[in-house]
Amino acid sequence: MINSLRFRDRNRLERLCGEHGGVVSLWGGSCFSMAKKVPVNLLKVGMYVVQLDRPWIETPFLFRRFEIKSPQQIAQIEEYCHHVFIDTEKGIDVAIDQGQPSSGQQATRPVSQDVLPESRGAGEDQVSFEEEIGQALEIRTKTKQVVEDMMEDARIGKSIDSAEAREAVENIMDSITRNREALLCLTQLKNRDEYTSIHSMNVSILCIAFARHLGLKEDQIRAIGVGALLHDLGKMRVPMEILNKPGRLTPEEFDIMKGHVILGAEFLKNTPGISPRSFRVLVEHHERYKGGGYPQGLREDQISLVGQLAAIVDVYDAITSDRVYHNHLHPHEAIKRMYEWSEKDFNRALLEKFIRCVGIYPMGSLVEINGTEIGFIVSSNATSALKPDVLLVMDTQRNRYSKPIRISLTEVDSSRKKDKWTITRVLDAVEEGLQLDAFLQPST
């Protein structure tokens, strides 16, 4: 049901989608099994954990569902949880000779097992962050110019050159293949006055990295990247006084704003070289998993994979950016907020994969280490989500290091048998007046 559109707009969208074909949702549906609540003191190797007693994002575990494979893993669970839920069909049950949890603790409930493939990624980086960052900065500059040119063409009603968009996407894909962290870190470079062009570029970078993290095929990634680069073209036909209004939009103004999706779809319809998958990114990036989105009010399996993926990325970059009507959230806070919203707005299983892609402390975030030093997150950690790599750039007295120092939060101080480095605060790069690119020293 399309509540937000006039009848003729519904017909326009149906016609446009029909002309561009459909991208069948690759993932969807669910099956159910029973989960058993088990105190952590009864956990054993071989059990399959499907839920914790606290939000998954507040723990160091990379997966919300996982098999217990070692006593060390049990000890780590005990640090964070009092009980967990296990799936007795996928792993071992509580042993009879151990006794069952007390009646106050025993519980079973259905657990949705989303039909999603495990993230495969695409292998190791080919070069280091330091080797790639120079090219990444250049690609970012060129891509931003391509987006600005296409948006100006759209604004004046001139057809765009999809070949330029495809070339920009190829460059992004090549950089992410060489080293995934470099361009992802640069998505944290924001400018309120250039929001629309930077947002479109960032959504493309993040969508490409996310699709690659999911192990999608090259042609799928390419199409998603192009669609993401062009997803907001329709905004160029929205009146500027509405697009840049500093206060809350009236219902009538919001209806006009929502029309940017159809306007963009009509624009892409007349653009040669746009695949159905790219078209779906634009048409579905404002749909919401449990309904309530626009323009079609789709829900769950009615939304294609690329639409679900684009919706997550679009919201993430939007809420971490300054707009005329709201201030940005820290990337770390944005991830937590989106996890809270995922019951209705996003496919939670897919959102969790996005979080594993960008990190619980997303790449490019500014943090304080041990209360004494300041650095940027430059890499997620494949084994512990709360222990990424950090590029130290300054001490807390704002003394800049002659050369940034890269550290891993997994390092242990052997003399004290505790972590050598700890994130003590998440800082706001804008408020602190610190941007990552000011500290980068590309290799020559």
Kindly list the distances between the CA atom of residue 214 and the CA atoms of 112, 272, 362, in Å, as whole numbers in the listed order. 20, 28, 17
Continuous segment of H or E residues that includes residue 207:
helix 195-213
7-26+121-358: CATH architecture: Orthogonal Bundle (1.10)
The predicted structure's pLDDT at residue 182: 92
Closest CA to 144 of 196, 82, 209, 75: 196
What DSSP assignment string belongs to 46-108? Answer: T-EEEEESS-GGGSS-S-SSEE---HHHHHHHHHH-SEEEEETTTS----GGG-PPPTTT--E
Cβ burial 227-264 (10 Å sphere, 16+ → b, else e)? bbbbbbbbbbbbeeebbeeeeeeeeebeeebbbbbbbb
The predicted structure's pLDDT at residue 109: 46
Kindly list the distances between the CA atom of residue 240 and the CA atoms of 145, 184, 258, in Å, as whole numbers in the listed order. 21, 30, 14
Torsion of CA 307, 312, 317, 322, to 10 degrees: 100
CA 81 to chain centre: 26
Residue that the structure tokens 């294609």 belong to: 304
Domain boundary assignment for the chain: 7-26+121-358, 31-114, 366-439
The predicted structure's pLDDT at residue 170: 96
The predicted structure's pLDDT at residue 203: 97
Closest CA to 285 of 312, 317, 316: 312
The predicted structure's pLDDT at residue 10: 54
Q: What is the pTM of this model?
A: 0.76
The predicted structure's pLDDT at residue 30: 39
> Rounded CA gap, 206 and 53, in Å?
31
The predicted structure's pLDDT at residue 121: 52
- pLDDT per residue rounded down to tens, the chain (444 residues): 334 444 455 556 555 555 554 433 333 333 445 678 889 889 989 899 888 887 766 676 766 678 888 888 888 888 888 888 888 888 888 754 444 443 334 444 444 444 344 444 555 678 888 889 999 999 999 999 999 999 999 888 888 888 999 999 999 999 999 998 999 999 998 877 777 789 999 999 999 999 999 999 999 999 999 999 999 999 998 888 888 887 788 889 989 999 999 999 988 888 888 999 999 999 999 999 999 999 999 999 899 999 999 999 999 999 998 776 667 888 888 998 998 898 889 999 899 899 989 988 888 899 999 999 999 998 877 667 788 899 999 988 889 998 899 998 888 887 777 888 999 998 988 888 888 888 875 444
